[in-house]
Structure 1
Amino acid sequence: MMDKECAAIERLRVGAEMSETYYEQPLIITTSGGKDSDVCLHLAQAAGINYEVQHNHTTADAPETVRHVRETFRKLEEKEIKCTINWPTYKGQPVTMWSLIPQKLMPPTRVVRYCCDVLKEQGGKNRMICTGVRWAESTARKNNRAAFERLHRDREKRMLLSDNDDKRRLFENCQLKAKRVVNPIIDWTDEDVWAYIESEHIQMNPLYCEGQHRVGCIGCPVAGRKGRELEFARWPTYKGAYIRAFDRMIEGRKARGLETEWQTGTDAFDWWMGYDVLPGQMDFDEVMNDG
């Protein structure tokens, strides 16, 4: 564990140096209010680097998560660390999960996760950022993420690097204005994360103490049906917000002459949860050109 901690701290120091050199601004530590973000914040302190902190307010996080982020920011600001909350926008206008769904004319799904793009990933544009992404979280991240990354919508222009990659100089000197990322705990397992939290006495989001394994947007399809059912039982107002958003989504589809077998937002919610999948329900391609 000591070797992984040292490697993570070194990655943060390299990332901070890159940020100051290329952008002439501090490294941004992004925080979602989850355990991996809190570990990265603690490691940044241990690294002794200059950094600032940003949180992308998704509008669909649990109240406990919102309060945890606010308390974390309060403590950081006492240390004179700049903290920023990024409020989401879409097409130049303020947006929430509940106003985004009617504009997209379809529910967010495991395959079409437009909500992440709009609500979670817009902060830190054209900057060097730090995230808590880890290979252990999914096969996709194991295959497509690295310790250092240069992100770009054009996959041909993306660049992934390991700690000692011989493409490092190209990565550092490339003049393409794009978001660069350092993932200091990319190779940490869940056990590594919890062991570090315990050894360093890091104050965590209280939802973990209640047995939650993840803290993200309430209703996220990635959480699976059982996890989402537990979330909606705990926070029923969010279920109502989704149903009302789906009602407006259906109205929008009908106004555009798009077919839908859903008659109400509840019908759409049941389909979304996997309770009542209607055959031929939607052709996602017909609405993706909307945004």
Structure 2
Amino acid sequence: MADLEHKSIARLQLAAQMSEEYYNAPLIVTTSGGKDSDVCIALARAAGIRFEVQHNHTTADAPETVRHVREQFRRLEAEGIKCTINWPAYKGQPVTMWSLIPQKLIPPTRLARYCCEVLKEGGGAGRLITTGVRWAESVKRKKKRGIYESMPRDINKKIILNNDNDDTRQLFENCKLQAKRVCNPVVDWADADVWDYIHAEKIQMNPLYKCGFKRVGCIGCPIAGRKGMQFEFARYPTYERAYIRAFDAMLAERQQRGKLDATWRIGHTGRDIMHWWLADGVLPGQMEIEGGV
């Protein structure tokens, strides 16, 4: 555990140095309100670096997550650490999960995760940020995420590094600074490592972990799977009703644009879509809805 901690602190110290040197600004530590983000903040404090903290408010987070982030920000601001909440926008206008769905014409799915791009991945443009991404979370992340990354607009030009500091310095020196740079200091931590560090350092956590939640994210996220979504909607029925209203608006928008089809046609309701969404979960059949934008 000590070895992992020292490596992660060294990554953060290098990232902070590069941020000050090439961006003339402190490192940004991003937080979702989940355990991995909280560990990154604790490591940044242990690293003795200058940093800011930012949170992207998705509008679909659980109330406990919103309160946890606000309480955490109060403590950090009392220490003189700048904290910022970023509110989502789409096509230059403020947006919520519920107003985004009608614009996109399809519910969010594992294969159509437009909500993450709009609601979760804003902020930090032209800056160096950290995330709590870990390889242990999925095979996809193991293949596509590294210790250090460049995040240009053209994703095909993304650069991923998992090696030494010399290459990392070249990443910052040779790439245009308009692109976002990312440091993932706990990318090689296992779940057990995260929990061991939390208990050892007595990190104050989001209370949802004590309520049966294995992940903390948007309520109704398809990544949680059918059972996870049902569990969340049973706890937060107001969110389920909000999705149903958004699906009703989505159907109305599809009708107005002439994009009703064999899957969704006149007579279907937002509740029908909710039933389909939960019944099929993450199956490929979700993508049978055509005409999304």
- In the superposition, the TM-score normalised over structure 2's length comes to 0.94
Aligned letter for 2:208? Answer: L
Query: 2: distance between equivalents of 1:111 and 1:75?
Result: 38
List gaps (5 residues or longer) in structure 2. Answer: none
Q: How does 1:270-281 map to 2 (within 5 A)?
A: 270-275=275-280
- Per-residue deviation, residues 246-285 of structure 1 (Å, max 9, x unmatched): 000000000000023431001111111125999798454x
Aligned letter for 1:65? Answer: T
CA drift of 1:9 comes to: 0.1
Query: 2: distance between equivalents of 1:26 and 1:240?
Result: 41
Query: 2: distance between equivalents of 1:279 and 1:172?
Result: 42
Aligned letter for 1:81? Answer: I
Q: Say which SS state the counterpart of residue 16 (structure 1) adopts.
A: helix
Q: What's the counterpart of residue 230 of structure 1?
A: 231
Superposed structure 1 runs of 4+ greater than 4 Å apart? 275-281
Q: How does 1:187-266 map to 2 (within 5 A)?
A: 187-260=188-261, 261-262=263-264, 263-266=268-271
Aligned letter for 1:26? Answer: P
CA drift of 1:133 comes to: 0.3
Of 230-239 and 155-164, more deviation after overlay is shown by: 155-164
Aligned letter for 1:208? Answer: Y
Aligned length: 287
Query: 2: distance between equivalents of 1:112 and 1:248?
Result: 19
**Mapped contact 2:18–2:169 kept (Cα < 8 A):** no
> Do structure 1's residue 95 and structure 2's residue 95 form an aligned pair?
yes
Aligned letter for 1:36? Answer: D
Q: What's the counterpart of residue 61 of structure 1?
A: 61
Query: 2: distance between equivalents of 1:26 and 1:281?
Result: 42
Q: How does 1:1-291 map to 2 (within 5 A)?
A: 1-164=1-164, 167-176=167-176, 177-260=178-261, 261-262=263-264, 263-275=268-280, 282-284=288-290, 286-288=291-293
- Per-residue deviation, residues 229-257 of structure 1 (Å, max 9, x unmatched): 01000000000000000000000000000
- Per-residue deviation, residues 48-107 of structure 1 (Å, max 9, x unmatched): 000000000000000000000000000000001000000000001000000000011111
Aligned letter for 1:189? Answer: A
List gaps (5 residues or longer) in structure 1. Answer: none
Query: 2: distance between equivalents of 1:151 and 1:209?
Result: 35
CA drift of 1:27 comes to: 0.3
Query: 2: distance between equivalents of 1:201 and 1:244?
Result: 41
Query: 2: distance between equivalents of 1:278 and 1:76?
Result: 43
Query: 2: distance between equivalents of 1:178 and 1:280?
Result: 33
Query: 2: distance between equivalents of 1:127 and 1:164?
Result: 21
Flag the 1:280–1:207 CA change in 2: closer, same or farther, 3 A. Answer: closer
Query: 2: distance between equivalents of 1:6 and 1:35?
Result: 19
Aligned letter for 1:195? Answer: D
Query: 2: distance between equivalents of 1:175 and 1:123?
Result: 19
**Mapped contact 2:101–2:247 kept (Cα < 8 A):** yes
Aligned letter for 1:25? Answer: A
**Mapped contact 2:27–2:129 kept (Cα < 8 A):** yes
**Mapped contact 2:131–2:183 kept (Cα < 8 A):** yes
CA drift of 1:197 comes to: 0.3
CA drift of 1:175 comes to: 4.0
Q: Say which SS state the counterpart of residue 292 (structure 2) adopts.
A: helix
**Mapped contact 1:28–1:130 kept (Cα < 8 A):** yes
Query: 2: distance between equivalents of 1:111 and 1:241?
Result: 22
CA drift of 1:191 comes to: 0.1
Q: Say which SS state the counterpart of residue 167 (structure 1) adopts.
A: helix
**Mapped contact 1:30–1:130 kept (Cα < 8 A):** yes
Query: 2: distance between equivalents of 1:86 and 1:209?
Result: 27
Instruction: Please give the root-mean-square deviation of Cα atoms over the aligned residues, in Å.
Output: 1.8
Aligned letter for 2:28? Answer: I
Query: 2: distance between equivalents of 1:239 and 1:212?
Result: 17
CA drift of 1:154 comes to: 1.6
**Mapped contact 2:244–2:274 kept (Cα < 8 A):** yes
Identical-residue share of aligned pairs (%): 61
